[in-house]
Structure 1
Amino acid sequence: DKYTEEVKEIIKKELARFGVNAEVEGRAKHFFSIYKKMKEQNIDFDEVYDLIAFRIILENSTEKACYEILSIIHALWKPVPGRFKDYIAMPKANNYRSLHTTVIGPYGERVEIQIRTREMHEWAEEGIAAHWRYKEKGKFPAEDEEQIKKLRELLDLQQDAKSPREFLSNLKMALFTDEVYVFTPKGDVKSLPRGATPIDFAYSIHTDVGHQCVGARVNRVLVPLKYELKNGDTVEIITQAGHKPSKDWLKFVVTSRARAKIKAWIKAEEREKMIALGKELLEREFRRQHLKPPSQLKDEEVKNLFLEHSIDNLDDLFSTVGYGKLSPKYVAHKFLPEEVRRAAPEREEKKKKKEVTRVPSITLTGIEDILVRFAKCCEAIPGDDIVGYISRGRGITIHASSCPVVRGMDPERIVEVNWNLKNKQTYPVNMRVISIDSKGVLAEISSVITAHDINIRHAEVDTTTEQAICDFTIDVEDLKQLNQVVASIKRLKNVLSVERMRKY
């Protein structure tokens, strides 16, 4: 405290000598703040330069006066190279403005000094509320448009976000960032988070510029769209009319605005495709049931269905069917005459009796009879944990939860599904058995498999000097039956290992 007071007095006297009206504040950094900064920035104690910091707040002064005070401080004490930051010429994303410099103060101690006007100080302490309080005294100058633009961008984040949690995440990204400063070809400064790419830069200019971006030049040199911008770069965006954003951009953009705009576009594009798919599926089912096309249904005819499933219009109905949340058969059934609907369960029962085998149904949010196909990469069988993926034009694709392909999928199109087997059916499974090479090894393993009443589709043996590698494709009913036959094979004397083979 004694040192802080001594330095404050020196600064006050120097400012008074030049007739400067200013308030001088000083403080020593708290121990916890020092520890937190060292941990967050992964630095040593010697690299913490603001252990002692002072703030000079100029009364009724302009930006120019801040630079004049800076020259006074630098004449008083020697500045530390590389420790000057000009947040007046290049404000932070939240419009924080101030000059920061570190000098070698009395007794060789490093001292940080911040220089700002009263208005800048009020903004730093109270944010935009203080800004409007200042402007209530007079007309709004042109630079206020920049602040209004920032507020509009934050509102855009809220509108594009699907949940409060996502909005909060985007807001944190927008407000609390390490920044780089880049230039437009006309020399305007853009502040972006560290790690920002040309795509982030394009969306900061305008949503359409971002959507239509096909390339970028940085300092007149063509660069990849995932190039990380650096301080002082001059960025030129190359656009092409009609070009559309790529979902891959989400892997490297860092600004909340760019992420929100890309996701919103993808969601709208996906919805259009699902509307077209749902409409096609419903029209096909309605024709099969000899009903008039769904697009010709009157409001009173669809009112109950809309209320039951919180649907607002026909496009919502089509997209719900396209996403697989409602089956075409379920919707068509709602519009059948009463007598036909009563007879439908009887016809369904007769149809079941005639069937020898049937494709298993998958339950999706309690609704059956959806379009289902099984992915060949993981070949899921009943008993495996599974997830569904909404495929364009092909209904739901079923993957094993452990399938690596799932990790690269769009999480918004993954749905929870469950096995709902009503009739037994077999599924192909690839299996590899490694054993000691001996006479009749293939016949011995095959006999164990057939003893479980399992059909062998394919079998082949590849022998090495000491081992036999036997590959089988067998038909099993479920995971339980597969585990039983694997256990039986493992009990054979010469068997070394048994493994279920998948394509991933």
Structure 2
Amino acid sequence: MLEIDFEEERKVILREYRKLLRKAKPFLKPGDAKLIKKAFTTSMEAHKDMRRKSGEPYILHPIAVATIAVEEIGLGTTSIIAALLHDVVEDTEWELEDIEREFGPKVAPIIDGLTKISGVFEYGTSQQAENFRKMLLTLSKDVRVILIKLADRLHNMRTLESMPRNKQMKITSETIYLYAPLAHRLGLYAIKSELEDLHLKYTQNEVYRDIANKINETKTARAKFIKSFTSPFEDDLRKTKWDYVIKGRPKSIYSIWNKMKKQNIPFEQVYDLFAIRIIIDAPVENEKAACWEVYSIVTDFYKPNPDRLRDWISTPKANGYESLHTTVMSDKGQWVEVQIRTKRMDDIAEKGYAAHWKYKDSYSNPEQTRLEQWIARVRDMLESNDTSAIEFVDDFRSNLFSDEVFVFTPKGELKTLPNGATALDFAFDIHTEVGAKCIGAKVNQRLVPINHELKNGDQVEILTSNKQKPNEDWLRFTVSSKAKSKIKDVLKEEKKSAALEGKEIVYRKLKQMKIEPKDEVINRIRAYFNEKTPLDLYYGIGTGKHDPKNIKKFQDEVLEPKPKSGKRIRQASDAKTFEKELKQAKGQDMLLIGEDMDVVDYTIAKCCNPIPGDDVFGFVTVNEGIKIHRTSCPNAPELLSNHGNRVVKARWTSQQEIAFLAGLQIIGTDRVALISDVTQIISDELKVNMQSISVDTQDGIFEGKIHLFVQSTKHLDDLIAKLRAVNGIVKVNRYD
């Protein structure tokens, strides 16, 4: 057993605590240091016997969270105290009342928002989604809850190395699914980028390392290029009355990977690997003019791309981001993105919400309330939302991710809606009654239907009728959570009466079959009939969409299937139950793909078609046994975020007899016998069976899609390498 040097640990703890105090010192008021010390000693005492998975004392985690809150987000004393105490109620004997008594009424609600909901959750619900909703509910009282939670998540991601693989997958998927977009929306650009990069590091480590190495290798060449690019206009910049700094900022690893994936190009072909940022020190009243002056100087030397000008100074983003972006052609024949902003704008761009408040009183910009408008929208959504936690999280995410569209009312009032918003979204944004009676709109004086998508600068007038009422299709015509939740409210009322009848039928059938209508059973019937919620199931039965006789089929096929030969693991509802049964049957709790078919029903997920060599996980479905997904599967973040309790550890065995389906996309210049050369390599040289091949040739460009059976990622990589060597082929990629 490893011997612990307690004296050395004490020195480390004190060193980290003093570092926190140094960072906080500039803004501490009299008496603050004393309160912070009290919080530190309380947390130290409460966590004294606890250790992290890495083996280090637990207290180092709250200190690190408090340091991130101060240094990287710019929060103050109350947040430091809350960060130091954020796990005390959840993990120790302390109660919220104790926190309020010792540290006052400001700290206690923040701790409450950060404390996870405990207890047993019904089958088919999601503990993660419930906790996320609980945390957001406190947004209406204090946004610091979210900011401290982001600091907590960032530190957990930075120290994820010591966690078991299935926990790593759950935490990193939650991060990319919810916390990175949330950081983006709150303007915490640096934190958002780091969370995304760390997600990539733990889900696709080879890709992450490869891009990181390439960024490193091009560092010197990049610095040289920036120097030669900026030197022609630096003389003119010096002649202005503003102090300035020029930075070359490489794109984050995740955004480079995203671009490579979206455009199907290698690292070398990503032209905007970095942006040049010019930061000027101009007073608030001269900011706009100063930025345009710098723009004018840069474009005197380099030709701008007219389609790539972004003015976020006149109309800032909803997260408070302000900057002037242009893309210009360098004399080396390369497009270069130039970002022009002031010191204040840069501070807000990096630290987001907290910096935004720091400058709140320094200028009276009407756009400055945009971030508050978004928070007001979230509050509105929280108050009016009575859907399940998972539906709520999905709605919230769609509003987190989307950019904005700016439109005007007939009187010229500016309205901000999510990108892709329709006339119907606009109607609900004005008022629920207006939305519910909307029959169409006039956009820029032209008559349009309710599903007309709005564009920046549109002027919209809503047309209503008392005879109109919402229907199911309206949910497809809207993107804003406000519109969706109001439409759902109206539809729910109509649904309820039909659903009551359906519920009676389901319960009657179950009684005849002597089955108790527990939540678990209802959820499995819901999944069998492919409905999203129990209400939808009852509604489908009540309106005749589903035949009640099929409930008997459900019993025969799912609840009481004919036993297969040998001892098999019954349908489990979560990973813990499954792993326990697997351990009893096989002596290990990890699913071995290729070996365990004798005791476990599992299938390969069609959404990502994993093959041996891919990094994978198992997922306990409601009715279809275990499904094997790639960790890079497009559905992985949602499955792992909302249902982490159903994730099973899985890996391939070395057996190679089974062939797995994979897809290849081949692009090249068309020539005689190209297809013959490709099929010869696949069939004759590597003895690979093809399922299908489709070829499209246009203007001399050949694009083929091939479905074939391979034994492993190595087998597939060998095939890709050989195909790339064929004369005329430009690209070969695996696709899902």
Into which bin does the TM-score normalised by the smaller protein fall? 0.5 to 0.7
Whether 1:366 aligns to 2:517 is yes
How big is each residue's C-alpha offset from its partner over 1:436-473, in whole Å with a ceiling of 9 and x where there is no partner? Answer: xxxxxxxxxxxxxxxxxxxxxxxxxxxxxxxxxxxxxx
Number of matched residues? 317
Match of 2:423 in 1: 198
How big is each residue's C-alpha offset from its partner over 1:348-382, in whole Å with a ceiling of 9 and x where there is no partner? Answer: xxxxxxxxxx9994778628xxxxxxxxxxxxxxx
Whether 1:324 aligns to 2:503 is yes
Aligned partners of 1:250, 1:153: CA distance in 2, in Å? 19
Amino acid at match of 1:212: K
Whether 1:16 aligns to 2:238 is yes
Whether 1:225 aligns to 2:404 is no
Match of 1:263 in 2: 488
Contact kept? 1:364, 1:418, Cα under 8 Å: no
- The 5 Å alignment of 1:431-442 reads none
Whether 1:50 aligns to 2:278 is no
Aligned partners of 1:64, 1:22: CA distance in 2, in Å? 15
Q: Counting strand residues as a fraction of each chain, which structure ranks higher?
A: 1
How big is each residue's C-alpha offset from its partner over 1:324-370, in whole Å with a ceiling of 9 and x where there is no partner? Answer: 379999xxxxxxxxxxxxxxxxxxxxxxxxxxxx9994778628xxx
Match of 1:92 in 2: 317
Match of 1:390 in 2: 538
Contact kept? 1:212, 1:240, Cα under 8 Å: yes
Whether 1:169 aligns to 2:390 is no
Counterpart selection for 1:399 from 541, 546, 550: 546
Deviation at 1:100, TM superposition (A): 1.0
Whether 1:213 aligns to 2:438 is yes
Contact kept? 1:364, 1:416, Cα under 8 Å: no
Aligned partners of 2:516, 2:545: CA distance in 1, in Å? 15
Match of 1:246 in 2: 471
Deviation at 1:181, TM superposition (A): 3.8
Aligned partners of 2:447, 2:274: CA distance in 1, in Å? 45
Contact kept? 1:52, 1:110, Cα under 8 Å: no
Q: What is the SS of the residue equivalent to 2:538?
A: strand
Q: What is the SS of the residue equivalent to 2:344?
A: helix
Whether 1:116 aligns to 2:264 is no
Deviation at 1:205, TM superposition (A): 3.3
Distance 1:139 1:88, change over 3 A: closer
Distance 1:390 1:165, change over 3 A: closer
Amino acid at match of 1:53: A
Larger Rg: 1
Q: What is the SS of the residue equivalent to 1:196?
A: coil
Contact kept? 1:102, 1:113, Cα under 8 Å: yes
Aligned partners of 1:33, 1:56: CA distance in 2, in Å? 21
Counterpart selection for 2:371 from 136, 147, 167: 147
Deviation at 1:132, TM superposition (A): 1.1
Amino acid at match of 1:175: L
Deviation at 1:216, TM superposition (A): 0.8
Q: What is the SS of the residue equivalent to 1:82?
A: helix
Aligned partners of 2:418, 2:409: CA distance in 1, in Å? 16
Aligned partners of 2:549, 2:269: CA distance in 1, in Å? 46
Amino acid at match of 2:517: G
Distance 1:43 1:143, change over 3 A: same
Match of 1:27 in 2: 249
Aligned partners of 2:440, 2:386: CA distance in 1, in Å? 27
Q: What is the SS of the residue equivalent to 1:237?
A: strand
Match of 1:40 in 2: 262
Match of 2:226 in 1: 4
Match of 2:132 in 1: none
Aligned partners of 1:236, 1:69: CA distance in 2, in Å? 39
Amino acid at match of 1:399: H
Aligned partners of 1:170, 1:54: CA distance in 2, in Å? 36
Deviation at 1:144, TM superposition (A): 4.4
Distance 1:23 1:188, change over 3 A: farther
Deviation at 1:152, TM superposition (A): 1.3
Aligned partners of 2:367, 2:252: CA distance in 1, in Å? 37
Aligned partners of 1:416, 1:158: CA distance in 2, in Å? 40
Match of 2:216 in 1: none
Counterpart selection for 2:381 from 157, 166, 172: 157
Higher relative contact order structure (alpha carbons within 8 Å, sequence separation ≥ 6): 2
Structure 1 range deviating more: 224-233 or 247-256: 224-233
Deviation at 1:164, TM superposition (A): 3.8
Aligned partners of 2:549, 2:267: CA distance in 1, in Å? 46
- The 5 Å alignment of 1:174-193 reads 174-193=399-418
Aligned partners of 2:386, 2:355: CA distance in 1, in Å? 28
Amino acid at match of 2:273: L
Aligned partners of 1:140, 1:323: CA distance in 2, in Å? 57
Q: What is the SS of the residue equivalent to 2:546?
A: strand
Structure 1: where are the runs of 5+ without partners?
275-318, 330-357, 368-383, 404-414, 421-504
Deviation at 1:417, TM superposition (A): 9.9
Distance 1:149 1:52, change over 3 A: closer
Q: What is the SS of the residue equivalent to 2:306?
A: coil
Aligned partners of 1:207, 1:264: CA distance in 2, in Å? 11
Contact kept? 1:197, 1:225, Cα under 8 Å: yes
Amino acid at match of 1:390: Y
Deviation at 1:12, TM superposition (A): 4.1
Amino acid at match of 2:247: E
Match of 1:477 in 2: none
Q: What is the SS of the residue equivalent to 2:308?
A: coil
Amino acid at match of 2:237: L
Contact kept? 2:249, 2:277, Cα under 8 Å: no
Q: Counting helix residues as a fraction of each chain, which structure ranks higher?
A: 2
Aligned partners of 2:530, 2:350: CA distance in 1, in Å? 52
Aligned partners of 1:131, 1:401: CA distance in 2, in Å? 57
Distance 1:139 1:21, change over 3 A: closer
Distance 1:244 1:117, change over 3 A: farther
Deviation at 1:251, TM superposition (A): 1.6
Distance 1:389 1:163, change over 3 A: closer
How big is each residue's C-alpha offset from its partner over 1:166-196, in whole Å with a ceiling of 9 and x where there is no partner? Answer: 3332333223225444333334444444432
How big is each residue's C-alpha offset from its partner over 1:239-283, in whole Å with a ceiling of 9 and x where there is no partner? Answer: 345753322111221223322332234335545x57xxxxxxxxx
Deviation at 1:114, TM superposition (A): 1.0
Contact kept? 2:308, 2:326, Cα under 8 Å: yes
Identity %: 39
Aligned partners of 1:15, 1:363: CA distance in 2, in Å? 83
Contact kept? 2:260, 2:266, Cα under 8 Å: yes
Match of 1:73 in 2: 298
Q: CA RMSD in A?
A: 4.3
TM-score, normalised to structure 1, is: 0.52
Aligned partners of 2:228, 2:507: CA distance in 1, in Å? 81
Aligned partners of 1:360, 1:29: CA distance in 2, in Å? 61
Q: What is the SS of the residue equivalent to 1:157?
A: helix
Contact kept? 2:423, 2:462, Cα under 8 Å: yes
